[in-house]
Chains A and B, each alone.
Chain A
Amino acid sequence: MLNKQDLLGVLDLMRKARGDLVLRTAHESPDLFRNFFEFENDFDMLNLAFEREFNLWIDKHFEMFDSHFNPSDSHSSITRFKRVMVELVENRVIRTSTTNDLASKDFCISLLSEKISILNNLIEISKKNEKQYQRLLYSYQKDKTLFDREFKKLMEE
């Protein structure tokens, strides 16, 4: 059984991440809203902007996990977190896959699939797999850059 502190830690992290997601809209975050106006007549670009927002939101969980937990934490808390994250990313993959006419669908799905693959490899040993874990941590910056490139590519087409 997951101990109380570990369970509260994971639940708290999820709650904060949900709060962040909502606040970006409630507080009219300029980078997000700029996309709403800039791409209101361009379905592909708009959807790509949505995908970026949710990808970066998923990445935020990893950063939060890094600040909430440390390598000495119980194996079960890391396992539960990983399992929850795999399901969250899979949900996004399903959502993206059903948007059949999204031009960058393959690009978005490949980014999400990579996350699932890293997460699946993460819990093979009892402690954090440092190498895999670092790959998750840098995904925020990497995803931002890859999305920027994809935006640029679509703009030039």
Chain B
Amino acid sequence: MKDLQKMIQDAVKNSGADESISTELASKLERELNEFVTLNSLKAKLSVLFEYEKNYLELVKEFKEEIKFASGIQEDLRKERAKFFSETLKEVSSTLTESQVENKVASQWLKELVDSYTKSLDLSGGLIEEHTLDMIGTIRDKAKDQKNNVEIASQKTDA
């Protein structure tokens, strides 16, 4: 910036401008030039940001159905787990009580049932999580590729 300031001052001096106005003229030129450079640089940055945002939106659009699918199956499993503990288990427990199964037997059976049922739920959850993470990985990779493309395009424009 100091070089620019000196260049302007030298240019004003060499132009033969009157000394009484040369300092003010140099400062004015410097201010205007700075504003121009800042504005252009801001425009370039905004343009890159705009490209990023546009690409992310396109990616979200491209994966909309996948995201909906992953969220839907996660929700179904969450509902099933909640229903098991709030309704199914009560129903099963009532059947054991009504049919007069001995308390100790019923309690041991319920423990085993809950263990196997929840293990199966956890395994299903694991499959869903794995699928979701795979999908996020694919989106991230695509976003990274697009980010690189935007950066290359921006560097070419600058050059």
Contact = CB atoms under 8 A, between A and B. Distances in A.
Interface stretch (A7-15, A62-70, A103-111, A141-149): A7-15
B123 A22 contact: no
Contact of B102 (A15, A17, A18, A40): A40
Nearest to A41: B102
A57 B116 contact: yes
B92 A22 contact: yes
A3 to B, nearest CB: 9
B121 interface: yes
A17 B120 contact: yes
Interface in A32-78: 33, 36-37, 40, 46, 50, 54, 57
Interface in B106-157: 106, 108-109, 112-113, 115-117, 119-121, 123-124, 126-128, 130-131, 134-135, 138
B127 A40 contact: no
A11 B124 contact: yes
A88 B131 contact: no
B95 A18 contact: no
Give the size range of A's interface with the partner.
20 to 34
A50 B112 contact: yes
B138 A25 contact: no
Given A17-B120, A40-B105, A50-B108, A25 B127 contact: no
A26 B88 contact: yes
A84 interface: yes
**Is chain B's binding surface mostly helix, strand, loop or mixed?**
helix
A18 B115 CA distance: 11
B136 to A, nearest CB: 11
Contacts of A25: 92, 95-96, 109, 113
A11 B109 contact: no
A95 B112 CA distance: 9
B124 A33 contact: no
Nearest to A61: B120
Given A1-B131, A25-B96, A40-B105, A18 B123 contact: no
B62 interface: no
B130 to A, nearest CB: 8
Interface of B: 69, 73, 77, 80, 84, 88, 91-92, 95-96, 99, 101-102, 104-106, 108-109, 112-113, 115-117, 119-121, 123-124, 126-128, 130-131, 134-135, 138
